[in-house]
Structure 1
Amino acid sequence: MPKRKTKSSTMKERSSADGLLSHERNWSELPEDILHLFSKKLSDISNFIRFRAVCKSWQLSAPVNDPPPQLPWLVEIRKYSEETTTIRFYCLLSGKVHTITCPTSHRFKISSPAWHYLLASCMRNGNAHLLNPLTHDQIHVPSVNMLGGGCPEYIGPDTIEGSNIVVISGYADWSLPPPNIMAFWRPKANDWVYIEGVGNSPNAFYRGQYFSNDRETGTTNVIDISTKNLAYQVAPPKGTNPHLKGYTIMVDSGGKMLRLFQYYKGEQFHFDIYCLYFGDKKQTPCWVKITDIGDQILFLQYYSGLSVCASNFPGFKGNCIYFLKNKEYLCRYDIGDGTIKVLPCPLRFLHTWFVPNLV
């Protein structure tokens, strides 16, 4: 038979429980360095926002200018009326859809993945600006002298200047053939800086240099934007078939410049991947074929893309490529075994990738 509790034992248990209650942790008094470590694990920015909202000490431990690494969101832009534009973001990490309604009517230029800001123009007055869709912060952008305003090639961090940079490309005028031109702008500058004679597609921005491919020859022209001069040229990868139809994509991946060729092999897509190899100073830079990108994950949209480190995102495998098929299907390509998996996605139209931020 179980022993009956005596009066003294019951009193001891109550005393012990009272002692535990009296020593309960005040979570607002956790050490700031511990809180900061916790905040750096919140790879869904919505959780980072909730973390900062707990109390003052938690907010101070997680400054908005030092957020945790963020997995890119998928973007769908819908226009329901002349007065509002709705943006839907799909977070692969949480599986949630975030819907944001812009305060006024905007027309967004979506042609490449973007970091932190989207390039938009007001449909009422035509003024262009960078818009952070999470905070609604706007940065005025001077008008650009390019047909149709050009197409954004890169919106994101500038490792040379330590700020942001916007790179666009397009045509200078209506002459035939139209001259190709690119322009770049930094938020503290008064106007765009133009560079003529660049290739026609695809393009990428990498360490202060503009990589531009010639669609006909496959040659990569590398332009130093600080001098506006041609730094060097890179011949097409050896052994490539110039008659094979597909997409050439340029991506800065983990500090390396990659060139990918996406094409149909049988009934499914396949990727040939090349890394820019510099060798010593006496060698000419060249494309070297690789079969592994390590811990990196690529997120592609037609001719451009971005890259993140898989180890920052538990549950995500490196050496993979996420790409958009016909703007309708989200697919994952495993570089290791060459398999493709169509992933569930609640968005109807898949426009681009966007890396969220609060500044």
Structure 2
Amino acid sequence: MAPKKQCTSRVSWEQLDPDLLRIISKKLCDISSFVCFRAVCKRWRAVTSLSDPPPQFPWVIDWPKAKSSGELESVFRFYSINSRKTHAFVVPHAYIFGPSDGSVLIYERDRSDKECQSFLNPLAWRERFVPLEVPVDNTVRPIRLARNLIQNVEPALFYEENAHYILCFWQSVKNKWAGVRVPRLKTVVFYDHKFFVTDDEINYTRIRVIDESTGAVLSYLPPPTDNFYHGYLIATDDGLLAVEVIRSIAVIPYLKIDLEECQFEVYRLENYPQNPHWTKLRGIGDLMLFLDQQNGFSLKASDFGGFKGNCIYFITAGKKWPKRGSEHVIARFDIESNKTERIPAPAWLGRRFFERQAAWFMPTLL
């Protein structure tokens, strides 16, 4: 009997069906894998687009450590919970203030030795400069503008000036930056072309609504509870949410905490603007909320395989380490079970004295 001939035909990966390639590209959970996928060949690159990457689970950004000279290192590290990978980016001669969606706010010296401030996307290496009248110091804070709801929105920030805060944002109608003075700003969110700003006066807390196009104050809203000083406002597809931290460990760093005691309450703004009021929610369904020291935002769990909705992800500081400061902790609060669990994080995250907390970062190639 003649021996069977072995099949010598091979399927070229380059010739895979375009529809199959698109399905594969949408399953890539890490944006670095998506970049490598597009770099394989022209055909693979042609079936994908930088403007339509697979949904990316947020990364955690860690502040650079201080050198013995007092200067900061220019290497910034990012941790992906989804892939458990660490990504590092070098930004020479720059100081970082914090993330805002897919950018980080930095200031550096240009070739003429002048200090300049900009939002930098470390993946696309694209800069957007901010107004020169904004001070270059550590009182400046970026604002997250709900990237999952609004596209191509210029970043916003606020800074402290004497006893007030200045909210700076881009007015697309007038094609210029605008500044609005607000007292004791605590949290701010962009929703329905308006800024909702929580400020805390001496005797009361209220939420002022500022029009994006004019900068005028449209109205004032009461907070969901009398103890909303450490709360968050979050824009979602289902409306404007308010999250109250029952124990303020998510906003007060460097405390020895017990994660089992972490609890949150969620409210939704109803019937705005006719008769606005807050309704306490028993759950948030498919939504996942993300909180750090400064900002909050939402994503849908159904966009990510293996992740559960009705949860709140947050970053705080854990037990103190002798002579090394506090350990940053990534945790998840399950609203249905009312329980908190810790999420594995790399050893390099945190463990230092009195530096800004780690924060969420949305990786994007745009």
Range of TM-score over shorter length:
0.7 to 0.9
Larger-Rg structure? 1
- Output one character per residue of 1:178-224: Cα deviation in whole Å (capped at 9) or x when no partner: 23321103799874211234662111112321111122423211111
Instruction: Give the equivalent residue in structure 1 for 2:127.
Output: 138
CA contact (8 A) 2:21 2:44 kept: yes
Instruction: Give the equivalent residue in structure 2 for 1:339.
Output: 339
User: C-alpha separation between the residues in 2 aligned to 1:189 and 1:227?
Assistant: 9
Root-mean-square deviation over aligned CA pairs: 2.8
Change (3 A) 1:109 1:42: same
Matches within 5 A, 1:41-190: 41-79=27-65, 82=71, 84-102=73-91, 104-110=92-98, 113-123=99-109, 125-145=114-134, 148=137, 150-154=140-144, 157=147, 162-172=151-161, 174=162, 178-185=163-170
Q: Percent identity?
A: 31
Instruction: Give the equivalent residue in structure 2 for 1:272.
Output: 265
Q: One-letter code of the match for 1:225?
A: E
CA contact (8 A) 2:184 2:200 kept: yes
User: C-alpha separation between the residues in 2 aligned to 1:301 and 1:189?
Assistant: 32
CA contact (8 A) 2:189 2:234 kept: yes
Change (3 A) 1:56 1:299: same
| Structure 1: segments with no counterpart, 5+ residues | 1-6
**Normalising by the residue count of structure 1, what TM-score does the alignment of the two structures yield?**
0.83
> Aligned with 2:37: secondary structure?
helix
Q: One-letter code of the match for 2:313?
A: Y
Residue-pair matches, total:
331
Q: One-letter code of the match for 2:263?
A: H
Instruction: Give the equivalent residue in structure 1 for 2:214.
Output: 227
Instruction: Give the equivalent residue in structure 1 for 2:363.
Output: 356
Instruction: Give the equivalent residue in structure 1 for 2:186.
Output: 201
CA contact (8 A) 1:275 1:290 kept: yes
CA contact (8 A) 1:263 1:270 kept: yes
Matches within 5 A, 1:269-348: 269-278=262-271, 283-326=274-317, 328-346=328-346, 347-348=348-349
CA contact (8 A) 2:330 2:344 kept: yes
Change (3 A) 1:88 1:357: same
Range that drifts further, 180-189 or 61-70: 180-189
- Output one character per residue of 1:89-130: Cα deviation in whole Å (capped at 9) or x when no partner: 11001111112222x1111112xx522111110056321122
User: C-alpha separation between the residues in 2 aligned to 1:189 and 1:152?
Assistant: 21
- Output one character per residue of 1:44-71: Cα deviation in whole Å (capped at 9) or x when no partner: 1011112112211101111111111111
**Normalising by the residue count of structure 2, what TM-score does the alignment of the two structures yield?**
0.81
CA contact (8 A) 1:77 1:85 kept: no
- Output one character per residue of 1:332-359: Cα deviation in whole Å (capped at 9) or x when no partner: 1001111011222114225111111122
Match 2:197 to one of 212, 231, 234: 212
Range that drifts further, 141-150 or 255-264: 141-150
For the pair 1:31 / 2:21, whether they are aligned, the reply is no
| Structure 2: segments with no counterpart, 5+ residues | 249-257, 318-326, 351-356
User: C-alpha separation between the residues in 2 aligned to 1:290 and 1:185?
Assistant: 33
